[in-house]
Amino acid sequence: MKYVLITPAHNEQAFIEHTLRSMFAQTLPPARWVIVDDGSTDKTVEIAERYARQCSWINFVRLARQQGRSFSKKVGAFNAGFELVRTIGFDVVGNLDADISFEPDYLEFLLSKFAADSALGVAGTPFTEDGYDSASHSFEGENHVAGGCQLFRRKCFEDIGGYTANAAGGVDWIAVTTARMMGWKTQSFREKRFHHHRPMGTAGRGTLGAVFLYGRKGFLPWKFTDLGRVPDNVLGDKATVRPRRMCINGGLYGGVAYRNQKGSFARTDAISSRRGNEEATPYSGHSFEIQEGRPIPLGSACPARVATNPA
């Protein structure tokens, strides 16, 4: 199977060489790897260009950077790279972050999973940080594929319409969840890991802000909100959302546990069980509304717990 990769990068001089070295060592190189610099002001361009000159399957693209940093800008950079590979004959397309590293057979391993299962739409692995392993410490299960290295079967990527440029974040989660809603299998294979060199969520914010954001994801619903009719296997007719104050408390509580690697308690089932009528689903842990068949996180980013409203 042939695959292509796209790496949006912005001010990654401290980490991008880890990714470049990992790619050069791969036992199964891609048909094309497009690195898209999104207006870096450090030495990211210099480092990436030095490697690109040594390899025919690397394309390097520079974009003019708009002020500010957001997830929607990352999607714009990804789309610019995708335009350069759209006409190439490939079976799998992937996002590869510019701050990760992995074993030489990592991508060959993932491509073998696509070859073995035609229903597999999105594949990846858990990741590690210093003292942290998402397979055991994260509240997201095996059906979620981490965005740092997220591979899509081409047909699946086309079915979901690519990444959604959502400024509130969660673009990787939206893509995986939409793929499942459309009947594709998504899986994080635990036999391998990639290593995330930048502490999670610290791009554009400090460590305290990052751990707050992570902890806030785990605190679940309080108030019923009618989202209208959506597929029964996703939401039923209702969803619930905790108010902002609960999200703040959850951010402080959950963030501390994330940094201390005390394991996954983010679903807070003991707290939520007081409401008797709630059922966890594969889509728990995020606030979102359905827009044109897609689950879109709400601007407040306060996480939600999906529930069935009793008659």
Burial tier of 86 (Cβ tally within 10 Å: 0-12, 13-18, 19+): exposed
| Residue-level pLDDT at 296 | 59
In this structure, the strands spanning 223-226 and 92-96 are: unpaired
Q: Can you read off the two tokens belonging to residue 304?
A: 């939600």
- Please say if the pLDDT value at position 156 is more than 60: yes
Name the residue among 64, 72, 78 with its Cα closest to residue 35: 78
Instruction: Average the pLDDT over each of 27-36, 87-96, 105-114, 298-307 and give the range with the smallest value.
Output: 298-307
Higher pLDDT, 296 or 270: 296
Binned at pLDDT 50, 70 and 90, residue 10 comes out as: very high
170-214 tens-digit pLDDT: 999 999 999 999 999 999 999 999 999 987 654 454 545 444 444
| Model confidence pLDDT, tens digit, residues 210-268 | 444 444 444 433 222 233 333 333 433 333 344 444 444 544 444 444 445 434 333 33
Chain Cα centroid distance, residue 29: 22
Nearest to 187 by CA among 137, 116, 96: 116
Classify the phi-psi angles of 13: left when phi > 0, otherwise alpha if psi is within -120 to 50, otherwise beta: alpha
What is the distance between the alpha carbons of residues 11 and 43, in angstroms, rounded to a whole number?
A: 7
Strands (E), the chain: 3-9, 32-38, 58-63, 92-96, 100-101, 120-124, 127-129, 132-133, 149-153, 185-188, 194-196, 223-226, 238-241, 288-291, 294-297, 304-305
- φ/ψ region of 168 (left if φ > 0, alpha if ψ in -120 to 50, else beta) reads alpha
* Average of per-residue pLDDT across 284-303: 50
Confidence of residue 293 (pLDDT cuts 50, 70, 90): low
- The CA distances from residue 286 to 14, 152, 301, in Å, are 31, 22, 7
CA distance 130 to 128: 7
In single-letter form, the type of residue at position 265 comes to F
- Residues carrying CATH 3.90.550.10, the chain: 3-196
To the question of pTM greater than 0.85 for the whole model, the response is: no
What local confidence, expressed as pLDDT, does residue 242 receive?
40
- Report the alpha-carbon distance of residue 233 to residue 280 in Å, rounded: 12
Q: How far apart are CA 283 and CA 308, in angstroms?
A: 13
Number of H helices, E strands in the chain: 10, 16
> 90 pLDDT band (50/70/90 cuts)?
very high
CA distance 41 to 251: 31
Tens of pLDDT, residues 31-88: 999 999 999 999 999 999 999 999 999 999 999 866 555 668 899 999 999 999 999 9
Class of 3-196 in CATH = alpha beta
pLDDT at residue 8 in the model: 96
